[in-house]
Amino acid sequence: MDKFIVLQDIITSRRSTKPAVLNGRKIDDQQIQQLLSLANWAPTHANTEPWRFIVYSGDAVQQFCHRHAELYKQSTPPEKFNTAKYEKQQHNGDKASHLIAVYMQRGTNPNITELEEICATAAAVQNILLGAETLDIAVLWSTGGSTLAPAMKEFLGTGQGRPHDRTAVHGVCGRTRQTRPPPPHRTQNKMDQRLSGLTPENLFFPSRCFLSKQKLRPITG
């Protein structure tokens, strides 16, 4: 089959699945291994391979979620504390099979920027999401709750002696028997409307490409 078509199908079928609709069935550890082997082939400047994963399975998934909720409670002023959010966080792992915490380990090469290391790690996560789609594994790429809080970094132990490491995300993986929601909406035409009259011969404007009058100036000048 045409490889582009297969890839397009995977990419456009991929979507986030909320932990609440998981059905509790477990995923083989081997399939999680398969996902991480895909992550390991993300592009990386100077082969720093900054992506790091901590995988939780079994009881550790719920433990993680309980600790995550506690971190939220501890780090939120009482007047901002939301009980419903706290309880939701506590139960996010109840029907999950695995939980993967992902962080970027900052290398020591001064020529490699933090942005490059973050982008490499994000590309690794995208490989995981696409792989999960092919294996019918439901995933939520979560950066919510306390994921990005300093307390989470400490909790994961990624901070010791490495102040520049960044907790990126955590992903809740599981199975779902329910019909998944339709693919997310993507705006295809909104940007095109901004391009009228701005198409000089040697600049090519695809859908979703945005070029303001300001941007043209340096090219023609």
Q: Binders of a second copy among 143-202, rule CB under 8 A?
A: 143, 148, 154-158, 160, 166, 168-169, 183-188, 201-202
Asked if residue 81 binds a second copy (CB under 8 A), the reply is no
Secondary element (H or E) of residue 98: strand 98-104
Examine residue 29 and tell whether it contacts a second copy (CB under 8 A): yes
Rounded Cα distance between 159 and 91, Å, is: 26
- The binding track of 34-53 with respect to a second copy, each residue x by CB under 8 A or -, is x-xxxxxxxxxx-x-x-xxx
203 sits near a second copy (criterion: CB under 8 A): yes
CB of 167 to a second copy, least distance (A): 9
* Minimum CB distance to a second copy smaller for 83 or for 188: 188
| Residues 110-149 within binding reach of a second copy (CB under 8 A) | 113, 115-116, 118-123, 125-127, 129-131, 133-135, 141, 143, 148
Distance CA 83, CA 4 (A): 46
20 in contact with a second copy (CB under 8 A) = no
Beta bridge partners of 170: 101, 142
Residue 138 vs 168, nearer CB to a second copy: 168
- Smallest gap, in angstroms, from Cβ of residue 53 to a second copy? 5
CB 129 within 8 A of CB 65: no
d(CA 130, CA 147): 22
- CB 144, min distance to a second copy, A: 8
Cα–Cα distance between 25 and 210 in angstroms, integer?
44
**Torsion, Cα of 136, 141, 147, 148 (10° steps):** 150
Alpha carbon distance 97, 63 (integer Å): 13
Interface with a second copy (CB under 8 A), residue from 57, 88, 195, 198: 57
How big is the chain, counted in residues? 221
